[in-house]
Every structure is written in structure tokens, then in C-alpha cells.
Structure 1
Amino acid sequence: MTSKSSYFDLSLIMDKLRKSPWIITMYSVILFFAMPVFLIIRMQNISSRMAQNPDSYIPSVISGFFSIDSKTIIILIIPAAVIAAATAFYYINSKKQVDFYHSLPILREKLFVSNYIAGVLCFLLPYTVSLILSVIALWGTGFISYLNPLLAISGYLFNVLFYFVIYTITIFSMVLCGNLVVSLLGTVVFLIYGLLFYLVYTEFMAYFYKNYYQIATLESLARNVSPILDFLIATTDYSFSGARIICYVILTVALTALSLYLYKKRPSEAAGRAMAFKSSRPIIKYPIVLLCTAILGLFFMSAGGGHIGWMIFGFVCGAALSHFIIEIIYNFDFKAIFNNIKGLAAFAVLFGLFICVPAFDITGYDSKLPDITEIKSVRLRITDFNRSSYFANVQEISNTNYYRTRERQMLDKLDLADIKNIEAVHLIAKMGVLNGEEGLNNSDSTIGIEFELKNGLKIARRYRNLKSSEIEPYIMGVFDTQEFKNKFYAMYSIDKNNINQVNVENLYGSSGNDRIAQIIDANRIGSLIDAVKNDTLELKGKSMKNETPIIALNLVNRSSDERVNWQVNVAVYPSFTQTLDVLKSFGIRNPEIISADMVDSIQIYNYEYEKYYYDKAAAYSQAVPTRESMGSPYEISITDKGEIEEILKSSIPERAVAYNPFFKRYDGYRVTVMSSKFLNGYNETFIFNEDLIPQFIKDKFPEMNKIN
């Protein structure tokens, strides 16, 4: 007689829970220590920090525990969901148990749903209880007023959704396979396959295509290939969209429905087999063979010094070994190693045709360039601009998430739609394409470009085959536009009324002795910001090549408790007449700049010289020679006032370099300027302009000729 109860059987659920008390007990103990106990310890240890800044620190700690920012539960959920699913559906991979359960007068649908619910409750019950105990613990420690209920509820639902995703994937693997070990291996494959495929994809693209730009697709692809990675990187500042949540709900429901359908179709005799359905064997096998083939190809290519011959050898090994291993697992017989050789041969032919596409750039990836009339806007990532102190603090201002790189941030921020900028960037991209086709190997500049077309498509490329001397006029043309400066300089994106302190610093000053003045008057700050904005708009790229900033304005936003919320650095050049006049009206004059008569000596350390001998010794498996044995020093000391003056004219303080993206820094020499007269003691690092290094410096290192 068949039970007529709908959907599930409560007695079956309770029976399943009674037969697996160890799971609930284990989860309860682990979550008890990971949640309420840990929270009590954490709250007891923050008394000192609480006294200093309770209104900001305490909420951040509690939010980090209860919201989606907490990754402890996410990490615990992964094994918890796998174990619960494997336990709830273990019987389908045991011949004795499956015969027993399927002989009961219960519909398979009800049996499936009952076991599914039991596995969910194994985690949901102890997790819910632990969360309630955590709230009680928070109340008991006196911090309950800092709890944001919405964040706590969203964090709870977020973790429950993740549990359902991992749990359902494991169940799908259990139903698809007929052996517990194979099922667990299948679960691992389903969970990490997308991530591994993504990594292999990016490596292949970087190997075959000169202009591939990984960062442009990093965020969009990485989040969508693995639920584990997606949930781990989610934070309150970088949370799921509603559409993403719906997608995961649909995925869970679809996999559950598919698992139920396969469970109904699954023969009882499938218990004990590697795969419950023979038709699923090639569907599972060849994607794995594809991934293994690619991974071994990349491995041998990397080990073999980048030669494509080693990559082909790896392809052959990867395809053959993965095919053999999977056939052995499928048949539980070593003799099955040569089964389905025809299928392997067909795969090899298709894979060979597939790999020809990137190997010979059949699609024209590297030469693809959109027509300028199709471009809506362009995004730029310029290496030299990324180090600028103007841009360095944008992350602190905008409060963006911590997982997006500054490179991605720069692409997003420098979104230019002015036709002049589009034309200039398009010309730079065209140079990158032509130089790549001609095999230019003396390039010294790299630029990342993302074209957004009017039809919504995006084309991203990273051009490495560029000469800075050729593209510099176009970069300067872009830099000189108001559109670029408004988006690049952080000071244009903030309200001057939110700046309550400006520190005026001497860029020629020594560390700890560089502050000239501090401005806190709101009216003065407002007039100063207006002046520096106007001067910056007038600043031209050409003048920056030959001009050194002398002052840094540190714009600060402080809270009432003196905590710095954000700060932005702005450089002041000698040509900033409005800014300097405003500072002068405040009684702040231009800072003193070190001169040759103040300098005691300059030490110059030759990194290129050291590197030459180090590489030479490594090439011949010799010990790195000492300075004395080389016959020419690593380091020289300059005391001649004339030579010191020449050095000061051709170098600038290291702090000032970060403010000038057009300064061509040369890192082969480390220049240390020492003075006992300037600023009551001075010992600072200067950087040479690559085009202005005095000849007498090169002459003092005679062995440099061997390097060049």
C-alpha cells in the first residue's frame, strides 16, 4: 500500500535524524564554539578599543560577525553541506539499503524530499540555535544595542542560501553516481571545475594572445565560475545583487528538480556502480579530459621554458592519462584502460582543431580594433598614472570593496567619452596592434584599454608593444583635457565642505620634518581648494616633464573623535600661481629647497651594476663576487659641489616622483642626499630622470660598459 501523504513523510524525517545524531551533535558543538563562545571572547577583549572609539569600532565588530562579512560560517558550511548530503543519500549507493528503502510503500518523490529535508535540518537547526545563543550572548555582554537586525537577518539568509547551493550540488552528484567515493569526487569536480577552467582559460589567452587583458574580465568571470569563490568574496560593500540571489535560487531549485527526476529514473541496480547512468559517462568524462589536457599542457610548457613543443607533449599526456584513469574508475577495472579509444581519438582531433584557433589567431583577436564611429567611451589604465598619489586614495574616499584591484578601479574611473580622448586612445591602440604585428621588442610602455561600444559590447586589450616616446604626445593630450582631470584627480570627486583639515607639506623635506603648516579654517580651506583646482586644470603634461612639485596638500576628513575617514594628496607645482598666492595670503611661503652648498655628500648606489654581476654569476653557477673582488665599486660618494649641483638638477626627491606621472624615473641608481645644514639634518632618497643622468656618473662606473 502506498502512502498518500503529500510531498514528505515526517516520520521518515525524524527517523533519519535519529539515525544520524552524530551529525547534529558535531555541528552543534562546532557552531557553539564558533559563534556564541567566540563572540563572548571577542566582546570581552575589546574594552580598550571601545573606550577610544565605541561608536565606530563596536558596530564594525558586530557587523563583521553577524553580516555576510563573516567568512567563518561560509568555510564551515562547505564540509557541513557535503557531509549532510552524503549521509542523507548514502543509502542510494548501497545495494542492501536501496533495496530496503525502495521496497517500502512510499513514493520515491516522498522518499527523496524527506531525506532532502532531513539533511537540511541537520545543519539548519544547530545553526539557528547557535545564532540565537549569539544574540543572547551579545545581550548578556551589554552590546545588543549595536546589533543591526537587518544585517543579522541578511547574513543568516546568505549563509543558508550558500548551504542549499553546496548541499544540492552534492546531492546531484550522489544521484548521478553509484558509489560514495566517486560521488564525493564528482562533488569536488562540480565545485571547482569552473574555477580551474577559468584559470586555464586566462593562462591560455595570455600565452597565445599578445594583447590579452586579464584584469578587464577578472571580476565578471571569476565571480561566475565558482559558488565558493563568489560567496567568499561577497561583503556588505560588495554584496550580491537581487538578480544574483535569484540566479542561485533558480540554480538550487533546478538542480533539486533534476536530481529528483534522475532519482525516479535511477535503477536500484545502479548502487555500487561508478555512474548510475551510462549515458552520462561521456558528458562527465570529456569536460574533465579537456581540463586535464589543458592543465598538463600548461604545466609542461611552463616547465619547458615556454616552448610550444612541451605544451603539445603535455596535451598528449593529459588527454591519455585522464582518459585512462576515468575509464578505470568507470569500470572499476584496470583492464578497461584502453576502452573507448575511438572516443579519445575523436577528442584529440577536435582539441587539435580547437587549439589552432588561438595558436594562429584565426579570429584576429590581437588585430581586432573597433571602428571609431562605433565607440561610445574608452577606459584607460596607464601604468605610470597608477602610482600617482592623486589616485592612490580614491579607494578610501569611495569606500569601495577591498577585492577590486586598483587596476580595475582605474579602468572604471577613467571612463572617457570626449571624442578627442576617444580618438587619441584609438590611435594608441592602433600603434599597439601595428607594433605587435611587426614584433617590436624595444617597447617600454604598457597601457590597458577597454572600449565600450554603442551596442553595449566591450572590447578590452592590454598593449605591451608601445614606445613611451611615440605615445607620450597622445597621453599628454588626454591628460590636458578637463574630462580626464575631473575623473583622475580625487579632489574633484569630493565636496570641499567635507574637508576639515589641510596639511601643507614640503616635498623636499625629510620624513617627520616636512610639515609647513596646518589649515583648519573652513573659509581658508575652501579658497585653497578652489585655487588648486583651477591651477590643476591649467597644468599641462609638457610642463610637468620639466617641473618638480614642491608642496603636497594633504586634504583630510576627520570625524568628531579625530579618526581619519579619508585623505587625499594634491601636489603644488611652482607654476601654481593661484595656489601659491592663496598660501602666501595665509602667511605660508614657498618652502626652502636644498641647494648644492648645503649638501655634505651624495651617495650613489648602482643597482644595475650589482644585478649584472649577480646574473653573470648565476648564469655560470658561480658565487656572487664581493665588491672588492670585482675591481669597481657598487657605491660611490660625490663631494664636489659642481657635480652635486648637476645631480640636484637631474633628480628629484622620491616623494615628489609619485605626483608626476610624466617623470621618467630611473631606478638603476639610488641617490642619497645628505646634509647637516638643511632642515637640521637631512638624509633623503632622490630619483634620477632617465634622460638627464649626468655623463660623469656613468663614467664613474667603468664596468657599466660591459652591461650595455
Structure 2
Amino acid sequence: MTSKSLFFKLLKEDFKVRIWTLAVSILIFFFSHIVGTAMMLSMYKYNRAFSEPTDLLSYKVEFVQTFYSYIGIKNPLFAFIFVVLAVIVAMSGFSYLYSKKKVDMYHSLPVRREVLFFVKILNGILIVILPYIVCSFIASLLVLVNMGDAVIIVTTFFSVAEWILLFIFNYTIVIFAIMLTGNMLIGILACGFLNFYAPAFSQLISGYESTFFDTYYEVGFIAEKVLLKLSGIMVIFGVFDGRLREKMLIAVVGSIVLLVINLLLYRKRASESAGKSISFNIIKLPIKFMIVIFMSMLMYLFGYEMMSNSIAWGVFGAVSAGIITHCIMEIIYNQDFKKIFAKKLQMLICIVMSLFVAAVFQFDIFGYDRYIPKVSDISSAAVVSDFLESNASQYFNEMGFHNETRYDSITNIEYASDNDIESMLMREMNIKDKEAVVALAKLGVANLSSEWRADSISERVLISYKLKSGKKVQRVYNIDFDAAIKELSSIYDDEGYKTGMYPILSEDSKNIVSVDFNGIKDNDKHLTSENGDLAKLTEVYKKELMSLKYDTKVKSYPFASIRFNDADAQKILDAAYKDRGNYSDYSPDSKYADLMDDVGYYPVYPEFKETVAMLKEMGVDVKEKMSVEDIDRIEVSEFKPEQIETYYDSYNETGTKVFTDAKDIEEILDKVVVCDSPYKEDLNEDVNFNVLIYLKSDISDAYGGGLQYHFKRGDIPENVK
């Protein structure tokens, strides 16, 4: 009982000394939570007064969602508040460690160090979380009274718990910095070091790899996944892409580990360390090496990049940065300007180490670019390239509804970024023909040392391996199309590639409730179950898509696009159709076919005989090419490049031919690639010939808004040559 009463007595006395921090905490949360919520409610009531009665429910829902976002852990305002408060309460609680007199006074008390430590820790936490909890629930009650949504209390509870865990994590990091340092200024600098060194080092590694490695795709697991999560500020601001559960786990585990470490350091910390720069001499050398090498490497990269890839300027930047940083560190450590050039040998070692690491990257000493895993070591592989599929975004963009009323349209498209698409494909795709993937990678490596040819068609090719050891490897190559046709064919024809690329192949055909056919001009059709067996049509298409050979893609082209809609997609399309119906002159079929045409469209090739036949049976007037009767003339321009050494300096137009004869037009239509439906393919096209098509309905403006069409390479009509 005596020890318990002593603990609470110490807690009370410490609280009296730190009462000003409680006042700061109360003021911050009063204005950010209670006043902020009251202002939002006032604005809501003002807008409601000018709203239609039918819009009141949607405004209420939108306000509640806004409140959730405001109090949630994605709000950077509260992330900033909790970081600042973590520094304030940690410094106010343990600042006595920076004064020799205060340390002697505290340690002369008949109290165990552990008890004193936990008194300071607990008070710091209570000073922040008690006002936060009270103000948060007062704010949620204000919303509850006005909105009548009891779920707000539950949501507030979870938000409060999440913010508290993130605060404690950052709080223990600041205390860790205090334990390592002997004065407040150095302690604040140590906070910055602990929070920003790992992320900055991650970015530095990324900079070196992207600069010096030709096949670089992304930073490795440690630099990208681990280092960012070692920073409390990165975690609380949500800088890295991670799930909520992962962030909370990092906060809990990190807080416990740091709490134990801080207690051990507090017990071992000598009273004489007060006033010194660093509390423990053993950490001086590693910290100095970390900072000096980092700055030296950073300035090498800066000098190299700024001065047009100059190694000499890179070395100058590394050496000068290493000397200056080492001098500053010695001044800080010794708190004496006269020690500016102390320990020159350590400075020399740091500079040499930084130059060695820079050389490892610049000259690829460990063979990053040349690395290709053995086929026997590969568990799964994926290849992403426009050579194989240039319409991947069609399958990863998503239809949806707007959650907010301020938009003119109630539907929207969530566009997937290129990085997201590549990440999903690398995760889902598993190409069975690993030999073809490795052969393609070997072509990419061989292409690194070859000179670029002016007449070559090269494209970015991303190859991802998951090794049996669990390691993931990604490389990006620039590969010549003609040299890689064999490997590209093997990969595209692989079942694992197609099931990973085309979601329709894994879709249950019974789930399809409608089909959109989008063809040449207004050759469109929206099919429902009334038109025929959609499940059978889907199965037929899936069979022909799976059987599609790469050789067909190279020589042929998709003349139309087709989309298979499940019930959710059809619901969104119906809403978009109604929204668009008042101001569109299109036919119902064209309206549906054109709606959200960035999502879900697949190619229809002339070689898909069964699909085309079934579409015709279901009432679709399938047109595989434009009608000669609709065309007034076709203009074909040929451009020949002027080659200077190994590159094309310019293109000269050799002349434009105009074709008005029906026979000539027919011959051109048989060869020209007219791909103006949502699924667009320009594989193996000859860009030296530009084709403009003029319709009789508009002889002044070219069809497709002046869009220029091309022929397939090696398949130029005789009358054009």
C-alpha cells in the first residue's frame, strides 16, 4: 500500500509541475474538436436552409462521412497535433535529465528509478489522451444530437483508440531521443534523426538504383517496406502504403519495445551525462558514420546529376560533404569548435566508404542489371508490356457511384494508376512457360550493351519473378520487338499470362446480365437476356480469347470491342444512362456502349468467328470494316526519315496521295487498321504511312476528329506504295 500511495503521490506532484502542458493540450483539442465540429455543423445548417427537401438526406449522409474523415487517422492535422504534443510532454517530463542539479536532486530521492520513470511516462500520456478523449466524445455527441446517427459514437471510439496508439508510439520515440542525448537542442535533433534518417536513406538508395541501374524497377524489400516503417512520423502521417491493422501493429509493438529500451537506458544513464551532447559514448561512432556516409553519398549523387553525369564532380561533392559533415559532428560531440578537425582517420574512412558504395552502384559491381534467376529457382513469373497488352487499364479501372452530392453526375470511374496495375498483374499472373520469360530477360540484358537502331521498335518490358526462396525480383528492360517475337509469342499464348491479364476468363459466365458491343462508327448494341443466351456468348468469347495467338495480334487487329457486365456493373450503367439521357441524341444502344468506355472492354478480332456469328444471331449488325459507299476519299501521306548516324533527325513528307476510286478505297480498307472502339491496338503498325478517311457526310473534316490511321508493317497496299 505504501508503494502504491507513493506512486500516486509522485504522479500528483509531477502533474502540478507540468500543469501548463495540460492547459496546452486542452486548448488544442477544444478548438480542433469541439469548435471545429461546431463550425462544420453551422455550415451544414446554413447549406441545408437553401437545399431542396429531397437533398436533405444526402446532405446528412455527406456530413457524417465528412466528420468520419475529420476525426479519422488519415487527417494530417491531427497527425501534426499528436507529433507536436508528443515532443512537448516528453521534453517537459524528462527535461530534468539535461540539468546536472536536477538529476542529482531527483536521484537523491528515496524512490527507485523505475518508479520515477513510469510516473513521468504515465503523466505524459494522461496529459494528452484525457483531454483528447473528452473533447472527441463531446464533438461526437454534438453530431449525434444533430444527425441522430448512433454509429458515430462507435466510430469515434475506434478513431480515438487508433490515434492514442499512434501518439504513444511517437511519444516513446521522443523519449528514446532524450535518453540518448544530454541537452535539449541535441535531443530535438535526435528526434529528427530517429524519424527521418531511415526514410531518407530509403530515398537515397532509390535514387542510386534509378540513376545507375538500367533495369531498376523499385527499391528492394528492406529499403521500401521496412525502413519507412521505422519512423513514427511516417507511420502517423500514413506515408507508406499499409493497412490499418499493420499500422496499429507497428505502433503497439514499437511502443512496447521502445518502452523497455527506454527503461533500460534510464537505469544505465549516468548522472554525469547531463549537459553532454550524447549520453552514451558507445553510440557516437555509429551515429557519426551513418550521418557522414549518408551526406557524402547524397552529395555525390547531387554533383553527378547536376553536372551532366560527371564522376569528377560527384567525387568533389562526396569529399567536401564528408569533410564538412564530419567537422560539424565533432563540434557537436565535443561542444568545442577547436575540435573541428579531430579524428581525421575516421573522417577518411567515412569518405572512402561512401565512395566505395557509390562505385558499387555506378559500376554495378554486384551485377544488378545482369542478374537473371535460374528457371529452377522461379516459383512464379509475370511479364507486363504494351507489346503484349496495351489496354490493361480497361480491366483495372472500376465503375462506381459518387459518395458526395456536389458532383453533377452520380456515377464515376476510379482510374487505376500504372503502378497499381503493374502491382496487381505481378501479383495475379503466373506464366507457366518460365523458359520463355528467362529468354526474354536475356534479350533485355543483351540489349543493354547494344547500340540503338533508328529503324527498331522498342518498348518497356517489366518482368517479375517470385523465387522459391520467397524473394521477389523485378526488372525493367527496353526490348526490340523484332528480336523478341518468338519469346513474346510464347508468353502471350501461355494460359497463365491470359488468366492473369484478362479477368473475364475467371468470371462465371452465369453472372453476366448484359453485353455491350462497340463497333465502327455507330455500329453499337446493348444486349440483354432478351436477345439470347448471354452465358453461352460469354463462354464462346472466353474460348476464342484464350485461343488467340500472338501471331494473330501481330498481323490482324480488333475491329470492335465487347464488354461483359455483371449485375453491379449494369446497375451503375443504368444510373449513368438515366443521368445522360436528357442531353444525348445517341441511340439507346450507342448510349450504353459509350458509357464508361474506359472500363471492361475486350477486343473482337475478325478471327473470332464463333463470337461474331453468335453476335449476329443475337441481332448485332456486325461490320468488320467501313463501307466504301460511305467514304468520299482517302488521303495517304508517306513520311521517310532522314537518318543521321544511328538516329532519326527528322521526317520528310514525300507527298500525299488522294484516292477517290471505289476500287482503290476498297483495297486500302482491306489493309488499313481502323481501331476506333474503346479497345485500341497499335501493335506492329507502320507509322511512316498516315491515312485520313473522309466521309461523304462530312467531306471537310477527316473521320475520327482527324485521327490518322496506319497499316501493319509489311502489309502496305500496292496502290499506296
Structure 2-normalised TM-score? 0.79
Write out aligned runs for 1:197-596 (5 A): 197-214=201-218, 217=221, 220-221=225-226, 223-233=228-238, 239-241=243-245, 245-385=248-388, 387-389=390-392, 391-393=394-396, 405-416=420-431, 418=432, 421-436=433-448, 438-442=449-453, 444-464=458-478, 466-506=479-519, 508-509=520-521, 515-519=524-528, 521=530, 524-556=533-565, 557-558=568-569, 562=574, 567-591=599-623, 593-595=625-627
Conserved? CA contact 1:215–1:407, under 8 Å: no
Of the three residues 192, 195, 206, the one matched with 1:191 is 195
1:641 aligns to 2:660 (yes or no)? yes
Tell me how far 1:167 sits from its aligned partner.
Answer: 1.3
Cα root mean square deviation, aligned: 4.4
Tell me how far 1:38 sits from its aligned partner.
Answer: 6.2
Counterpart position of 1:177: 181
Tell me how far 1:616 sits from its aligned partner.
Answer: 13
Conserved? CA contact 1:650–1:692, under 8 Å: no
Question: Does the C-alpha gap of structure 1 residues 179 and 52 become closer, same or farther in structure 2, counting only changes over 3 Å?
Answer: same
Conserved? CA contact 1:448–1:463, under 8 Å: yes
Q: State the one-letter code of the partner of 1:29.
A: F
Conserved? CA contact 1:657–1:687, under 8 Å: no
Write out aligned runs for 1:15-54 (5 A): 15-32=16-33, 36-37=37-38, 40=41
Question: Does the C-alpha gap of structure 1 residues 382 and 248 become closer, same or farther in structure 2, counting only changes over 3 Å?
Answer: same
Question: Does the C-alpha gap of structure 1 residues 393 and 371 become closer, same or farther in structure 2, counting only changes over 3 Å?
Answer: closer
Between the two proteins, what is the percent identity of the paired residues? 22
Post-superposition Cα deviations, 1:93-117, rounded to whole Å, max 9, x if no partner, equal 3455545544544433333222222
User: How many Å separate the matches in 1 of 2:6 and 2:104?
Assistant: 23
Tell me how far 1:665 sits from its aligned partner.
Answer: 5.3
Counterpart position of 1:688: 710
User: How many Å separate the matches in 2 of 1:491 and 1:362?
Assistant: 45
Tell me how far 1:343 sits from its aligned partner.
Answer: 1.0
Q: State the one-letter code of the partner of 2:429.
A: L
Conserved? CA contact 1:31–1:127, under 8 Å: no
Higher mean displacement: 252-261 or 30-39: 30-39
Tell me how far 1:221 sits from its aligned partner.
Answer: 4.8
Higher mean displacement: 189-198 or 311-320: 311-320
Question: Does the C-alpha gap of structure 1 residues 11 and 52 become closer, same or farther in structure 2, counting only changes over 3 Å?
Answer: closer
The runs of 5 or more residues in structure 2 that have no matched partner are: 401-412, 577-595
Question: Does the C-alpha gap of structure 1 residues 558 and 439 become closer, same or farther in structure 2, counting only changes over 3 Å?
Answer: closer
User: How many Å separate the matches in 1 of 2:152 and 2:171?
Assistant: 30
Conserved? CA contact 1:531–1:578, under 8 Å: yes
Conserved? CA contact 2:514–2:529, under 8 Å: yes
Conserved? CA contact 2:514–2:570, under 8 Å: no
Tell me how far 1:563 sits from its aligned partner.
Answer: 5.3
User: How many Å separate the matches in 1 of 2:484 and 2:243?
Assistant: 39
Question: Does the C-alpha gap of structure 1 residues 606 and 131 become closer, same or farther in structure 2, counting only changes over 3 Å?
Answer: farther
Q: State the one-letter code of the partner of 1:683.
A: G
Q: State the one-letter code of the partner of 2:514.
A: Q
Post-superposition Cα deviations, 1:372-399, rounded to whole Å, max 9, x if no partner, equal 2222221222244564156542666999
Counterpart position of 1:702: none
Tell me how far 1:476 sits from its aligned partner.
Answer: 1.7
User: How many Å separate the matches in 2 of 1:186 and 1:667?
Assistant: 59
Post-superposition Cα deviations, 1:596-655, rounded to whole Å, max 9, x if no partner, equal 664456789999999x9xx999xxxxxxxxxxxx9x999998654378777766653564
Conserved? CA contact 2:11–2:123, under 8 Å: no
Question: Does the C-alpha gap of structure 1 residues 232 and 666 become closer, same or farther in structure 2, counting only changes over 3 Å?
Answer: farther
User: How many Å separate the matches in 2 of 1:678 and 1:291?
Assistant: 65
Counterpart position of 1:80: 85
Counterpart position of 2:403: none
Counterpart position of 2:589: none
Q: State the one-letter code of the partner of 1:478.
A: I
Tell me how far 1:20 sits from its aligned partner.
Answer: 2.4
Tell me how far 1:584 sits from its aligned partner.
Answer: 1.4
Aligned with 2:323: secondary structure?
helix
User: How many Å separate the matches in 2 of 1:607 and 1:28?
Assistant: 68
Q: State the one-letter code of the partner of 1:20.
A: T
Tell me how far 1:474 sits from its aligned partner.
Answer: 1.5
Question: Does the C-alpha gap of structure 1 residues 602 and 33 become closer, same or farther in structure 2, counting only changes over 3 Å?
Answer: farther
Conserved? CA contact 2:640–2:652, under 8 Å: no
Conserved? CA contact 1:601–1:639, under 8 Å: yes
Conserved? CA contact 1:66–1:152, under 8 Å: yes
Question: Does the C-alpha gap of structure 1 residues 603 and 72 become closer, same or farther in structure 2, counting only changes over 3 Å?
Answer: farther
Conserved? CA contact 1:414–1:487, under 8 Å: yes
Tell me how far 1:425 sits from its aligned partner.
Answer: 0.4
Q: State the one-letter code of the partner of 1:406.
A: I
Conserved? CA contact 2:673–2:712, under 8 Å: no
User: How many Å separate the matches in 2 of 1:476 and 1:160?
Assistant: 55
User: How many Å separate the matches in 1 of 2:75 and 2:624?
Assistant: 51
Structure 1-normalised TM-score? 0.81
Higher mean displacement: 209-218 or 404-413: 209-218
Aligned with 1:144: secondary structure?
coil
Counterpart position of 2:590: none
User: How many Å separate the matches in 2 of 1:531 and 1:180?
Assistant: 73
Tell me how far 1:542 sits from its aligned partner.
Answer: 1.0
Q: State the one-letter code of the partner of 2:91.
A: A
Counterpart position of 1:620: none
Tell me how far 1:461 sits from its aligned partner.
Answer: 2.3
Tell me how far 1:197 sits from its aligned partner.
Answer: 0.6
Q: State the one-letter code of the partner of 1:688.
A: H
User: How many Å separate the matches in 2 of 1:231 and 1:204?
Assistant: 27
Counterpart position of 2:11: 10
Aligned with 1:85: secondary structure?
helix
User: How many Å separate the matches in 2 of 1:279 and 1:216?
Assistant: 30
Question: Does the C-alpha gap of structure 1 residues 18 and 386 become closer, same or farther in structure 2, counting only changes over 3 Å?
Answer: farther
Q: State the one-letter code of the partner of 1:413.
A: E
Conserved? CA contact 1:233–1:403, under 8 Å: no
Conserved? CA contact 2:297–2:355, under 8 Å: no
Tell me how far 1:290 sits from its aligned partner.
Answer: 1.5
Higher mean displacement: 251-260 or 679-688: 679-688
Tell me how far 1:698 sits from its aligned partner.
Answer: 12
Tell me how far 1:281 sits from its aligned partner.
Answer: 1.8
Question: Does the C-alpha gap of structure 1 residues 698 and 647 become closer, same or farther in structure 2, counting only changes over 3 Å?
Answer: closer
Tell me how far 1:120 sits from its aligned partner.
Answer: 1.6
Q: State the one-letter code of the partner of 2:16.
A: D
Equivalent residue pairs, number: 669
Q: State the one-letter code of the partner of 2:306.
A: A
Q: State the one-letter code of the partner of 1:411.
A: M
1:89 aligns to 2:108 (yes or no)? no
Aligned with 1:119: secondary structure?
helix
User: How many Å separate the matches in 1 of 2:680 and 2:35?
Assistant: 47
Question: Does the C-alpha gap of structure 1 residues 7 and 345 become closer, same or farther in structure 2, counting only changes over 3 Å?
Answer: farther
Conserved? CA contact 1:601–1:638, under 8 Å: no
Counterpart position of 2:684: 664
Q: State the one-letter code of the partner of 1:664.
A: N
Aligned with 1:141: secondary structure?
helix
Q: State the one-letter code of the partner of 2:713.
A: D
Tell me how far 1:3 sits from its aligned partner.
Answer: 6.8
